[in-house]
Structure 1
Amino acid sequence: MSRLPPLPQKRPHPDSQAQPPSLSEPERKLYELIKSRTNMGIWTADMKKETGLQNNVVTKSLKLLQNKNLIKDVVNVHNKGRKYYMAVEFEPSKEVSGGSWYADGNLDTDFINILRRMCVKHIEERKVATIEDVWKAIVASRVLKVECSMQQILEIVRALALDKEIEELKSTGVGEFSNVQAGKICYRSLRGNQVARAGYLSTIPCGVCPRISECTPDGVISPKTCVYYNKWLKLDF
């Protein structure tokens, strides 16, 4: 007597493995609410308000959801005293995490100080540098283990200018600025550079004019008739 071939075993649906484990009604409510907030997360007080669940039920359900690896608690840098939760498949947005300047909810001062030193170093080496020059030099150095955007470098350089470690000025396109297009914003170190401390004044003709003491608004030597001053004013700042 011939035997019938065995019936093929039914394979589980591909999506069935992605389904979360069985959840109680409070867990399901909280999980769906938390997941709906994607990478922004949600504060526990807001969960209680929106679900209408009691404090002890929310606390217990959140712990069970964490044990099932469905949610995680995250630090909101703007509200560190509040407990926020997020579905595990999302990464906190910049508004929540603070962006690249923060690590585990705390300002990454070590990373910032490294970038400050590198920016000053590259500006000093180039004498005068644009933000693009500084960024490209830092990327080419391969010192950093993480990627660094030009926007980050701009924030660092502007902070250095406020701290009077470097100065921000506009290129005249001549002399030490010959490698930078006239009118373009660039940066110069103030360390050991007495000339640089004159700031913007050192970039205009008046700063080096030998007859500046004789210059008056209505005199023979005047800003109104000075061809060098008028030429400088017409630069595209």
Structure 2
Amino acid sequence: MSRSMNASSLKRKRPESSSANGSLVDADRAVFNVIKSKEDMGIWTRDIKFETNLADTVVNKSLKSLLSKKLIKEVVNIKNKGRKHYMAAEFEPSKEVTGGAWYVDGNLDKELIGVLKGLCLKIINSKKVATVEGVYDFLNKSKVTTFDCTNQQIAEVLNSMVLDNEVIEVKSTGLGEYHSIPIGTVCYRIAKGAGLGESLKIGAMASIPCGMCPRISQCTPDGVISPRTCVYYQKWMNF
């Protein structure tokens, strides 16, 4: 392979961000390097100014330049929503920054949490007692939701319900209602005086798959998409 061909090949393989970084002025490069060094955690404006020791006007100008070149992006940090937080474009924000599955665009997804709480109540009420794995497996097998949830999410929902006195955390004795659950396993029961009837009614309504369906605007009683032909709706009705 000729020397010129080798150089050309290396040039083509060079990462776009690296090439763009090489063309930056000193101030922009300093700001970019600080932001990139934070990887998926990102950094907010004041810390950028502190670490680069550049004037406010210089940092602000560099940020605008880097944003226009799409080398960095502004992200929402749920712990400090009022602060402008920046991250190199090649990284995706960590769960610590975004809040994980419970947050959408920096806002707590209360609708999703409400749906899962209602479903958990209904499952525990029907089983009398249930483990995290039991609730999770039941949801997966019944397919009553139009979204996927993890075992960890179910555990977090149940823990929040314990704090709200909707369910209580107990350990299996291996007897009676606990016969199918290994002794000592943590499980959940409906809390006494938790307003079960009202909670289940609200939960059942909240868990209707229609509320999460992307085709709801096209759904009509006699249309191609309708409650009569909807698999998810029929499963919910039989749940």
Query: d(CA) in 2 for partners of 1:166 and 1:81?
Result: 35
Partner of 2:130: 129
Partner of 1:96: 97
What is the SS of the residue equivalent to 1:118? helix
1:78 to partner: Cα distance = 1.0
What is the SS of the residue equivalent to 1:129? coil
Amino acid at match of 2:14: S
Partner of 1:227: none
Counterparts of 1:183-198 in structure 2, within 5 Å, are: 183-190=184-191
Give unpaired runs (5+ residues) of structure 2.
Answer: 196-239
Query: d(CA) in 2 for partners of 1:53 and 1:192?
Result: 61
Partner of 2:13: 15
Query: d(CA) in 2 for partners of 1:181 and 1:25?
Result: 64
8 Å Cα contact 2:168-2:188 kept in structure 1: yes
Partner of 2:171: 170
Amino acid at match of 1:16: R
Q: TM-score, normalised by structure 2?
A: 0.70
What is the SS of the residue equivalent to 1:169? strand
Counterparts of 1:52-201 in structure 2, within 5 Å, are: 52-144=53-145, 146-190=147-191
Amino acid at match of 2:153: Q
What is the SS of the residue equivalent to 1:92? coil
Counterparts of 1:29-40 in structure 2, within 5 Å, are: 29-40=30-41
What is the SS of the residue equivalent to 2:14? helix
**Kindly tell me: are residues 193 and 157 of structure 1, through their superposed partners in 2, closer, same or farther at Cα, counting changes over 3 Å?**
closer
In the alignment of these two chains, the number of paired residues is: 188
What is the SS of the residue equivalent to 2:101? helix
The structure whose residues are more often helix, as a share, is 2
1:155 to partner: Cα distance = 1.5
Identity %: 47
Partner of 1:217: none
What is the SS of the residue equivalent to 2:187? strand
Query: d(CA) in 1 for partners of 2:62 and 2:90?
Result: 19
Q: Which has the larger radius of gyration?
A: 1
Amino acid at match of 2:113: I
1:121 to partner: Cα distance = 1.6
| Deviations, residues 15-53 of structure 1 (Å, cap 9, x unaligned) | 235234321111111111110110110111111111121
**Kindly tell me: are residues 162 and 193 of structure 1, through their superposed partners in 2, closer, same or farther at Cα, counting changes over 3 Å?**
closer
Give unpaired runs (5+ residues) of structure 1.
Answer: 1-6, 195-237
**Kindly tell me: are residues 144 and 87 of structure 1, through their superposed partners in 2, closer, same or farther at Cα, counting changes over 3 Å?**
farther
Where does structure 1 differ by over 3 angstroms across 4 or more consecutive aligned residues? 141-147, 190-194
1:84 to partner: Cα distance = 0.9
What is the SS of the residue equivalent to 1:39? helix
Query: d(CA) in 2 for partners of 1:193 and 1:103?
Result: 30
Amino acid at match of 2:150: S
Q: TM-score, normalised by structure 1?
A: 0.71
1:81 to partner: Cα distance = 1.6
Amino acid at match of 1:100: A
Partner of 1:41: 42
**Kindly tell me: are residues 81 and 143 of structure 1, through their superposed partners in 2, closer, same or farther at Cα, counting changes over 3 Å?**
same
What is the SS of the residue equivalent to 1:85? strand
| Deviations, residues 155-176 of structure 1 (Å, cap 9, x unaligned) | 1112212222222212222222
1:142 to partner: Cα distance = 3.6
1:11 to partner: Cα distance = 4.3
